[in-house]
Chains A and B, each alone.
Chain A
Amino acid sequence: MNRPEHGGDGHSAVSVLELRDVSKAYGQEPAVVHALTGVDLSVRAGEMVAVMGPSGSGKSTLLTIAGSLEDPTSGEVLVCGMALAGMPQSRKARLRRRVIGYVFQDFNLLPGLTAAENAALPLELDGVAVPKARAAGLAALDALGVAGRASRFPDQLSGGERQRVAIARAVVGDRRLLLADEPSGALDSVNAGEVMRLLHEACQRGVAAVVVTHDAQLAAWADRVVLLRDGRVTGQTARPPGPESLLMPREAR
């Protein structure tokens, strides 16, 4: 079985995402709202981190800041070692297109495009030549086991296949960071678990992922669960022992 590498001991590995003492406040005094306060978070290549917290805890703000869609009020954000502060908007946009993949709640596939076209879309938008983008899109579909559905349109795909195409689009090309906000939407628990399995498999191929969820069963797929409350990190899980410890050893009977 393919065991994921857990967080906590890989200091030598480069962080794909690093938040250092990040705070975000909205509005003016005296009506200022502190969405995030002093958040430190480091996610390595191959690691899947779940950020869990009640609504209003700052999960989505954390994700938009990690995705460079918003600037923090204070603190530093580094993606693949590059500081976002002071980076021109055009470079930030390029970073978003090339390095960061997004998985949305409802998958957001474009209905007029085939699975292959959907998967290749981020590359084509980035100016990659169409044949090259399509080849990368097909490779991503293949990695998710849906290469055989490449020429189907979203409405000709099953729910599970649509999930796979959406994840393929998020990791297409050389994306290093996957950001997902409640990625399993309104799916039943078995299919929601399947989405998490696919995201975790993508991490095992080297991508770093931050998945925001309020659902403990989905968060449990991650290598590390970070708890957020009122904009602060209140704790995170330690590296749990392997699942073997859950099964009674035969000798002990």
Chain B
Amino acid sequence: MSVPHALLALLSEGPKYGLQLREEFEAGTGEVWPLNVGQVYKTLGRLERDGLAESDDTGQDGPQKRFRITPRGAEALATWLRTPPDLTSPPRDELVMKVLVAARVPGTDAHEVIQAHRLYLLELMQQWTRLKEGEARDDLGLALVVDAELFRLDAVIRWLDAADVRLARAAAEPPRPSPAAAPVPQLRRLGARR
């Protein structure tokens, strides 16, 4: 979450005070992403330094200061909105590591490991869905955030399902030449990204 750009977006609606920005930021994201007031002022200071925002020249710091976006800030915001986030390199995913390891540790039932994670993720999805059923009904920001979480968790469950099938298939197939060779470099390569 880019806090500077979120603040620029709020300022693009008109001049605002720091505390007001914090409240609007939290309300806009359904309070799923909390923001402390120190972070708000630190970010505003940086935006001002970079010429992306400016404040009333009251000569005093603190809550009395009102901020507004500059033309350069508006330009930076527009560019940011259209710049794809970096999704090219896969994140080092702890769950992927656990399943890879479970498949190799003797005496470990990888399906059981997968099932435990699947149930946990489903429970998490149930929690998010309760939020969708209640608070998010009248809160567009929250509904969008909840949907994003649900799609993300859903994708993880689908990956677990696919992993389950792959592992079952691999166990049923007769061993190929050097069966253990393939996963090892895979693990090393993932580990090297740390």
In the complex, what's the smallest C-beta–C-beta distance from A251 to chain B, in angstroms?
11
Are B134 and A243 neighbours in the complex by a CB distance under 8 Å? yes
Are A237 and B132 neighbours in the complex by a CB distance under 8 Å? no
**Is A179 part of the contact surface with B, judged by Cβ < 8 Å?**
no
Q: Which residue of B lies closest to A241 (CB)?
A: B127
Interface string of B24-36 (1 = CB under 8 A from A): 0000000110111
**Is A111 part of the contact surface with B, judged by Cβ < 8 Å?**
no
In the complex, what's the smallest C-beta–C-beta distance from A45 to chain B, in angstroms?
19
Q: Which residue of A lies closest to B136 (CB)?
A: A243
Q: How far is the CA of A108 from the CA of B186 in the complex (A)?
A: 50
Are B32 and A247 neighbours in the complex by a CB distance under 8 Å? yes
Are B127 and A221 neighbours in the complex by a CB distance under 8 Å? no
Q: Which residue of B lies closest to A193 (CB)?
A: B132
In the complex, what's the smallest C-beta–C-beta distance from A220 to chain B, in angstroms?
4
- Which of chain A's residues have a CB closer than 8 A to the CB of B127? 240-243, 245-246
Q: How far is the CA of A156 from the CA of B80 in the complex (A)?
A: 44
Are B131 and A220 neighbours in the complex by a CB distance under 8 Å? no
- 7 pairs of A and B residues whose beta carbons are closest in the complex: A220-B125, A243-B131, A1-B134, A240-B123, A220-B129, A243-B130, A248-B34
Add 5 more A-B contacts to A216-B125, A217-B125, A243-B127 (CB < 8 A). Answer: A216-B158, A221-B129, A225-B126, A242-B127, A242-B130
* Chain A residues close to B by CB (< 8 Å): 1-4, 52, 54, 189, 193, 197, 200, 216-217, 219-222, 225, 227, 234-238, 240-243, 245-248, 250, 252-253
